[in-house]
């Protein structure tokens, strides 16, 4: 009997539906090729059109609905005519935290034949895993505004760092580093200027490191980290940091490796009490929406991460090899220097499965 997985597919806004279509085509193709498992997809129409029609991004039973699935595949959210703070807190951030997806894993690698953007970077120098704290920190959602519109208006945006939250992300990061050949972890903070929360972060890194004597680790301030990524990329392997810091560094990393269009991510609940959610790192990309030219690799790579999480490791590797082969043959979209559109790249990847 083939193994069965129920997947919630939530394409969302902008190029989200274009890249999620591509990911579903690749997932269906690899499931057929494998014959070992089946995927049934439910399309959830939550996004900005749904919001305009119903007044809500996430229905009141939305989280309960998601818990019935083995995983969630998400595209992007954000529309030009709705404030980003409403759309993002209405949908994406209303899922990551409440579903306790407290880890965000963002691998970045320079794919075959892709020229890195900086002359300081050789393709083999970039093979990184970013581990992003995904439930608190600068995204804790604590704050407010008073005296609206007056000159003495005040707004607060409070970053929250808890011992529990830091310890669990730090353990995940050390475990990730320990599972990779180089066993190398860089802990990113800004504990010179941010002297409470990020000093706690450094202290807990030191404590947790004692549980992982095989892992070599170092600390970086986030500003200097941007320079090290560009000037000395081969010195890095696994990187852990706060919600905001890794948000920024992972976009930089993707651009260095070729394009933000390739960046993949997994929002993980390591306890497996709830579903994990897989999504490309990029957003709705209004400037190219509807043109059919969006790079589908971030979404397809994310779906490979989903299969790995579900235990279908062989099929996950098949997808990654098919992506590598398409890149090696120059079958890429314009952001990577190629000439193909979204559907042609997807077809190239599907035809590479198992080759």
Residues contributing to the site for ligand NAD (CB under 6 A): 15, 19, 76-78, 84, 88, 92, 260-261, 279, 282-288, 294-295, 298, 335
The dihedral of CA 260, 264, 269, 273: what is its sign?
positive
What is the C-alpha to C-alpha distance for residues 97 and 89, in angstroms, rounded to an integer? 10
Residues 79 and 87 sit within 8 Å (Cβ to Cβ): yes
Per-residue x/- mask for ligand IPM, residues 190 to 229, rule CB under 6 A? Answer: ----------------------------------------
Q: How far is the CB of 251 from Mn ion (least distance, A)?
A: 6
Q: How far is the CB of 251 from ligand NAD (least distance, A)?
A: 8
Per-residue x/- mask for ligand IPM, residues 232 to 261, rule CB under 6 A? Answer: ---------------x--------------
Encoding tokens for residue 296?
């589908």
**Given the complex with ligand NAD, which of 151 and 287 has the nearer CB atom?**
287
β-strand partners of 267? 104, 277
Residues 67 to 96 in contact with ligand IPM, rule: CB under 6 A: 88, 92-93
Encoding tokens for residue 42?
């439910």
β-strand partners of 104? 132, 267
Q: Which residue has the tokens 């890194």?
A: 205
What is the C-alpha to C-alpha distance for residues 355 and 351, in angstroms, rounded to an integer? 8
Q: How far is the CB of 252 from ligand NAD (least distance, A)?
A: 13
User: Which one among 7, 44, 256, 281 touches ligand IPM, defined by CB under 6 A?
Assistant: 281
**Given the complex with Mn ion, which of 138 and 247 has the nearer CB atom?**
247
Q: How far is the CB of 128 from ligand NAD (least distance, A)?
A: 19
Residues 283 and 76 sit within 8 Å (Cβ to Cβ): yes
The dihedral of CA 174, 180, 184, 187: what is its sign?
negative
What residue 21 binds from Mn ion, ligand NAD, ligand IPM, none (CB within 5 to 8 A, per partner kind)? none
Q: How far is the CB of 254 from ligand IPM (least distance, A)?
A: 10
What is the C-alpha to C-alpha distance for residues 222 and 187, in angstroms, rounded to an integer? 9
**Given the complex with ligand NAD, which of 25 and 237 has the nearer CB atom?**
25
**Given the complex with ligand NAD, which of 242 and 265 has the nearer CB atom?**
265
**Given the complex with Mn ion, which of 78 and 165 has the nearer CB atom?**
78
| Buried b / exposed e along 26-58 (16+ C-beta atoms within 10 A) | bbebbbeebeebebebeebebbbebbeeeeebb
What residue 159 binds from Mn ion, ligand NAD, ligand IPM, none (CB within 5 to 8 A, per partner kind)? none
- Please give the C-alpha separations between residue 246 and each of 106, 139, 172, 239, in angstroms, as whole numbers: 9, 12, 15, 9
Q: How far is the CB of 89 from ligand IPM (least distance, A)?
A: 8
What residue 335 binds from Mn ion, ligand IPM, ligand NAD, none (CB within 5 to 8 A, per partner kind)? ligand NAD
Residues 209 and 215 sit within 8 Å (Cβ to Cβ): yes
What residue 282 binds from ligand IPM, ligand NAD, Mn ion, none (CB within 5 to 8 A, per partner kind)? ligand NAD
Residue 305 binding ligand IPM, by CB under 6 A: no
């Amino acid at each position: 009997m083939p193994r069965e997985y129920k997947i919630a597919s939530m394409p969302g806004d902008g190029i989200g539906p274009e890249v999620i279509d591509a990911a579903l085509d690749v997932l269906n193709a690899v499931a057929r090729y494998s014959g070992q498992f089946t995927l049934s997809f439910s399309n959830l129409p939550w996004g900005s059109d749904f919001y305009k029609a119903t007044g809500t991004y996430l229905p009141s039973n939305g989280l309960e609905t998601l818990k019935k699935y083995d995983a969630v595949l998400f595209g992007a959210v954000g529309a030009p005519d709705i404030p980003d703070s409403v759309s993002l807190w209405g949908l994406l951030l209303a899922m990551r935290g409440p579903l306790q997806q407290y880890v965000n894993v963002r691998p970045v690698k320079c794919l075959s034949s892709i020229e890195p953007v900086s002359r300081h970077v050789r393709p083999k120098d970039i093979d990184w895993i970013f581990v992003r704290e995904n439930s608190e920190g600068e995204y804790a959602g604590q704050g407010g505004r008073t005296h609206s519109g007056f000159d003495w208006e005040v707004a607060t945006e409070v970053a929250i760092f808890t011992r529990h939250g830091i310890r669990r992300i730090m353990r995940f990061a050390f475990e990730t580093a320990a599972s990779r050949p180089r066993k190398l972890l860089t802990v990113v903070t800004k504990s010179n200027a941010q002297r409470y929360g990020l000093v706690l972060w450094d202290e807990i890194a030191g404590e947790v490191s004692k549980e992982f004597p095989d892992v070599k680790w170092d600390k970086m301030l986030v500003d200097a980290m941007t320079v090290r990524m560009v000037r000395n990329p081969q010195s890095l392997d696994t990187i852990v940091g706060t919600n905001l810091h890794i948000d920024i560094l992972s976009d930089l990393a993707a651009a260095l490796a070729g394009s933000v269009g390739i960046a993949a991510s997994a929002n993980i609940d390591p306890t497996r009490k709830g579903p994990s959610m897989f999504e490309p790192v990029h957003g709705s990309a209004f400037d190219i929406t509807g043109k059919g030219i969006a790079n589908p690799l971030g979404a397809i790579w994310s779906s490979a991460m989903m299969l790995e999480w579900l235990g279908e490791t062989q099929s996950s590797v098949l997808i990654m090899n098919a992506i590598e082969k398409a890149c090696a043959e120059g079958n890429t979209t314009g952001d990577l220097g190629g000439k193909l559109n979204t559907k042609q790249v997807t077809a190239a990847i599907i035809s590479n499965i198992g080759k």
